Amino acid sequence: MELQSSLVKNVIQKQVLNLLLVDDRPENLLTLESILERDDRHIIKASGGNEALRIAIKEEIALVLLDIQMPDIDGVEVARLLRSNKKTRHIPIIFVSAVSKSERPSLDEFEEGTIDCLGKPLNLDETKYKVAAYERMYRLQNDLGLMKAWYEQIKSQLEQFVYIVSYDLKAPIRAIDNLCNWIADALGSNADANTAENISLMRSRVNRMSSLLDGVMEYSRIGRITDEDAPLDIAQMVHGIFEAIAPPKGFALEAKELPVIKGSQIKFYKIFHNLISNAVIHHHDPENGVITVTANHQGDGIVFKVSDNGPGIKPQYYDKVFELFATLKSKDEKETTGVGLAVVKKIVDDMGQKIWIESNDPSLISFCFSYPVMKSS
């Protein structure tokens, strides 16, 4: 794997980093080069701001040591131009100046931790330490970027593998289901009670396995949802979901004053569909069930709550219910796959948000998830 080999190579053997030295005086460039020259560094020199900008655009630069006072463009302006370009805005800069601290220009406009300063005449140890510190930061960020890319690639391949395996398993499951039907049809009314019960049990297990595979396939597809954000009327969405689920007569939905937000229709539909379905399926008194959906502004975002007056969940199981295949009751007691809430959590996690459970009353449970501040349509 290309990313894996790149990461291993980068860890085992130090990458040679490009350091850009910028000064209009050749003797200053030579002094800096003599201090910083090392096998794992490639020193690139520029005699002015315009030349430095051209080099920074062309090369992969780990650090710029930049003179403030130069005739064509002063160092601060060069830094501003570097920060304004997408390719160079991340490059840390160390200003090198003979100007006293009190007379140096303000650097408040630059992000902390990306700008530093060295005074002339240069202190040998201070120069080496500061450059080494920024190099370490660059290497760590570079390694982190490689590991993130590697992780995303592995995750994508694993999701694709799970999807393919689940899809391929559907064929033998359908064959077993057909076989059950053929046996039942062949026996007809001649099947004894024990045989009929076994056939019914086999059908139940086949249906459960088919539902489980559907859930696994849905879970593996979440990372590939790519629909664009669009205005979403949450009240309209949850009422439509409730009607589509067709809960038992007497089951009620309360969903008022819900916002219109901008988001992924597919993701939000899956979230609310799974949460509302979960509340209906696990309710102990479906004829008197009530689901309440609310939205409240908190901080810089919105917290959605899907609450129900069902049997509740014990606090020790709050985290467990979001695990893949986790169920709190025997699958023979409740025909569930244990995938729905895991799908919800994965979607919310992928959006960079949080989901949790709240309950002030054992018989009232709320599934809550956060979303960034509402954008008007």
User: Which pLDDT score, from 0 to 100, does residue 375 have?
Assistant: 47
Length of the chain in residues, anyone?
377
Q: Is 303 left (phi over 0), alpha (psi -120 to 50) or beta?
A: beta
**Mean pLDDT across the chain:** 83
The predicted pLDDT at position 335 comes to 56
At residue 12, does pLDDT exceed 80?
Answer: no
Share of the chain above pLDDT 70, in %: 87
Query: How confident is the model over 200-226, as a mean pLDDT?
Result: 76
pLDDT interval class at 311 (50, 70, 90):
confident
Decide if pLDDT at 272 tops 50. yes
Q: What is the mean pLDDT of residues 276-285?
A: 89
What pLDDT was estimated at residue 294? 95
Segment 23-68, tens digit of pLDDT: 998 999 999 999 999 888 999 999 999 999 999 999 999 999 999 8
- The DSSP string of 169-209 is HHHHHHHHHHHHHHHHHHHGGG--HHHHHHHHHHHHHHHHH
At 158-190, the pLDDT tens digits run 777 777 776 777 788 888 888 888 888 888 888
pLDDT of residue 100: 62
Check pLDDT > 80 for residue 14: no
What does the pLDDT average to over 262-268? 92
What is the arithmetic mean of pLDDT over 344-370?
Answer: 89
**Residue 334 binned pLDDT confidence (cut-offs 50, 70, 90):** low
User: Which residues are within 8 A (CB) of 281 and not within 5 positions of it... i.e. 6 or more apart?
Assistant: 334, 336
Residues 104-147 pLDDT 10s: 666 667 776 678 888 888 889 899 998 988 888 888 888 887 78
User: Is the pLDDT assigned to residue 151 strictly greater than 80?
Assistant: no
Report phi then psi at 172, rounded to 5: -65, -30
Distance in angstroms (rounded) separating the CA atoms of residues 275 and 29: 64
Rg (alpha carbons) of the chain, rounded to whole number: 31
pLDDT of 1 reads 47
Please state, in angstroms and rounded to a whole number, the distance separating the CA atoms of residues 121 and 98. 7
pLDDT exceeds 90 at position 13: no
- Answer yes or no: is pLDDT of 347 > 70: yes
